[in-house]
Amino acid sequence: MTSHPLAQFPPGIAYIGGEFVPMSEAKISVLDWGFLRSDATYDVVHVWRGRFFRLDKHMERFLTSIDKLRMTLPFGPDRLEDILKECVRRAELDDAYVEMVLTRGVSPTFSRDPRDAVNTFIAFAIPFGWVANEEQRNRGIDLHLADVERIPPSAVDPTVKNYHWLDLVTGLYQAYDAGAENVLLQDGAGNIAEGPGFNLFAVADGKVTTPDAGVLQGITRGTALELLAEMGVEARAAPLPAEALRQADETFITSTAGGIMPVRAVDERTFPAGAPGPVTERVRALYWDKHSDPDWTTPVD
């Protein structure tokens, strides 16, 4: 039986070239620097039960990243918000993964000077996706600590969300070879950095630490720090040596693609508090409660 020609694309709607189109029709030039050189920035916000979660934070980070890369969005933040909402409306999704992208674009003369390129904006809404599947979210995900060094911040600013993932992909294959489900990378000093699309938190003696340097300052990471403070739990961003992680009582990861998710083990180390541990369980419940709070969410309509 011949598969449907659109079966390779998830249902959803994209905005590109000033038009809203099905995902199967969202295309960029092969000469776009975003494709040729990973010269782009992006951000992802999710919609849950018809409401964007922390849309203002995601848009602020996206606009800051654009400025840092010396690119230009062809319209203001109000129009950006309208486009994101319209993608979700047209896709008819209650729970959605919504991405906004700005690439360096194409130089009309194929110049190697990035100042000659005309930046390309893309947005799309597809069904909500998770970093961890349902089983992993219930019993905790198993991570592998790879010997691959995360790209240092002296080379690429990790606070600018980017597509430089070859170090993360290399680490993922190490994790799969080791029988794990996902990966953590370290920095050059042996401290924990981050995983592909998520930040990490370690709980020890009732106190929580998340790596402070060489990582994307994730919106869900910042949300978790706010929620832990609301709970009265001492939490900080600080260096987290690999050995300190191995000695933690419990661990969790944070991502727009799934929120706050427990970790069961890192390599041979299974965390004694179980998964989810007590702190993880409390902060995760509060995180999902905030999805109906009008101070934290924005309705699609």
Residue 151 lies in domain: 134-291
Q: Are residues 89 and 151 in the same domain?
A: no
Instruction: Examine the domain organization and report whether 202 and 120 are in the same domain.
Output: no
Q: Looking at the domain assignment, is residue 7 inside a domain?
A: no
Q: Which of 96, 127, 158 is the last residue of a domain?
A: 127
Q: pLDDT category, 158, cuts 50, 70, 90?
A: very high
Q: What is the mean pLDDT of the chain?
A: 95
Sheet holding 118-127, edge to edge: 19-22, 13-16, 118-127, 96-106, 40-48, 51-53, 297-299
For residue 74, give the CATH number of its domain.
3.30.470.10
| Percentage, residues of the chain above pLDDT 70 | 98
Q: For the ranges 6-20, 158-172, 241-255, which has the lowest average pLDDT?
A: 6-20
Average pLDDT over residues 11-20: 97
Report residue 227 as tokens.
């929620």
- Concatenating the DSSP letter of every residue in 195-254 gives BTTBEEEEEETTEEEE--SSS---HHHHHHHHHHHHHT--EEE---BHHHHHT-SEEEEE
pLDDT value at residue 185 = 98
Pairwise CA distance, residues 87 & 192, whole Å: 36
- Within-domain flag for 65: yes
CA distance 33 to 28: 10
118 and 232 both lie in a single domain: no
| H or E element that contains 179 | none
pLDDT digits (tens, 9 = 90+) for 232-270: 999 999 999 999 999 999 999 999 999 999 999 999 999
Where does the pLDDT of residue 2 fall: very low under 50, low under 70, confident under 90, or very high at 90 and above?
very low
- Confidence grade of residue 87 (pLDDT, cut at 50, 70, 90): very high
β-strands 259-266, 141-149: how paired? parallel
Residue 227 lies in a domain: yes
The answer to whether residue 2 is domain-embedded is no
Share of the chain above pLDDT 90, in %: 95
End-to-end CA distance of the chain: 40
Distance of alpha carbon 186 from alpha carbon 163, whole angstroms: 18
Q: What is the average pLDDT across 289-298?
A: 97
Q: Are residues 105 and 150 in the same domain?
A: no
Both 123 and 255 in one domain: the answer is: no
158/216 Cα distance (integer angstroms): 5
pLDDT exceeds cutoff 50 at 3: no
The structural domain count of the chain equals 2
- Give the residue among 107, 175, 125, 119 at the shortest CA–CA distance from 146: 175
Summarised one tens digit per residue, pLDDT across range 185-236 is: 999 999 999 999 999 999 999 999 999 999 999 999 999 999 999 999 999 9
